[in-house]
Amino acid sequence: MAGGSRVTTVVEKPRGWIVKDFAASIVVFLVAMPLCMGIAIASGVSPEKGLITGIIGGLVVGFFAGSPLQVSGPAAGLAVIVFELVRDHGITVLGPILLLAGLLQLLAGVFKLGGWFRAISPAVVHGMLAGIGALIVVGQFHTMFDAKPLSNGLENLAAMPARILGLSNDIGSTELALFLGLFTIALMLGWDRFRPLALKLVPSALIGVVGATLIAFFLGLDVVRVDVPASIIAAIDTPGAGFLAPLVNPALLLSAVAIAFIASAETLLSAAATDRMHDGVRTDYNKELRAQGIGNMLCGAAGALPMTGVIVRSSANVQAGATSRWSTVMHGAWILGFVALLPWVLREIPMAALGGVLVVTGAKLVSLKHVRHLFHNYGLLPAAIWAVTFVLVLTTDLLTGVLVGLALSLVELAPSFRRLRLTVATANDADRCRVRLDGAATFISLPKLNQALDNLPEGKPLTIELGGVPSIDHSCAEMLREWLDRQRKRGFDIELLGSASQLKRLTV
The residues, any chain, with a CB within 8 Å of residue 481's CB and separated by 6 or more, are 505, 506, 507, 508
Q: Quote the mean pLDDT of the chain.
A: 89
Domain ranges of the chain: 17-357, 367-415, 420-505
pLDDT at position 13: 54
Tell whether the model's pLDDT for residue 482 goes beyond 60.
yes
- DSSP structural state of residue 144: T
Q: What is the pTM of this model?
A: 0.84
Tell whether the model's pLDDT for residue 8 goes beyond 70.
no
> C-alpha distances in angstroms, 220 versus 147, 175, 399?
20, 14, 43
Residue of higher predicted confidence among 119 and 354:
354
Tell whether the model's pLDDT for residue 419 goes beyond 90.
no
pLDDT at position 9: 34
pLDDT at position 154: 87
Tell whether the model's pLDDT for residue 207 goes beyond 50.
yes
Tell whether the model's pLDDT for residue 393 goes beyond 50.
yes
- Give the CA-trace dihedral at 451, 453, 454, 457, to 10 degrees: 130
The mean pLDDT value for 399-423 works out to: 85
Report how far residue 195's alpha carbon sits from residue 333's, in angstroms, rounded to the nearest whole number: 28
Report how far residue 345's alpha carbon sits from residue 125's, in angstroms, rounded to the nearest whole number: 37
Report how far residue 452's alpha carbon sits from residue 477's, in angstroms, rounded to the nearest whole number: 16
With CA atoms as reference, report the closest residue to 208 among 33, 51, 44.
33
pLDDT at position 65: 95
pLDDT at position 1: 37
The mean pLDDT value for 106-118 works out to: 89
The mean pLDDT value for 138-145 works out to: 93
Tell whether the model's pLDDT for residue 437 goes beyond 90.
yes
pLDDT at position 90: 93
With CA atoms as reference, report the closest residue to 288 among 75, 113, 482, 94.
113
> Which strands sit side by side in the sheet containing 494-497, from one edge to the other?
423-428, 433-438, 462-468, 494-497
Counting residues of the chain whose pLDDT is more than 90, the rounded percentage is 53
293, containing H or E segment: helix 285-302
- Report the CATH fold assignment for 420-505: Transcription Regulator spoIIAA (3.30.750)
Encode pLDDT of 62-86 as tens digits.
999 999 999 999 988 899 899 999 9
Report residue 121 CA to chain centroid gap.
Answer: 16
pLDDT at position 40: 94
> C-alpha distances in angstroms, 206 versus 157, 161, 210, 360, 488?
28, 29, 6, 13, 36
Q: What are the φ/ψ torsions at residue 149 (nearest 5 degrees)?
A: -60, 150
Could you count the other beta carbons within 10 Å of the beta carbon of residue 471? 18
Which of the four pLDDT bands, split at 50, 70 and 90, describes residue 11?
very low
Q: Hey, which of 2-16, 315-329, 472-486 has the most confident mean pLDDT?
A: 315-329
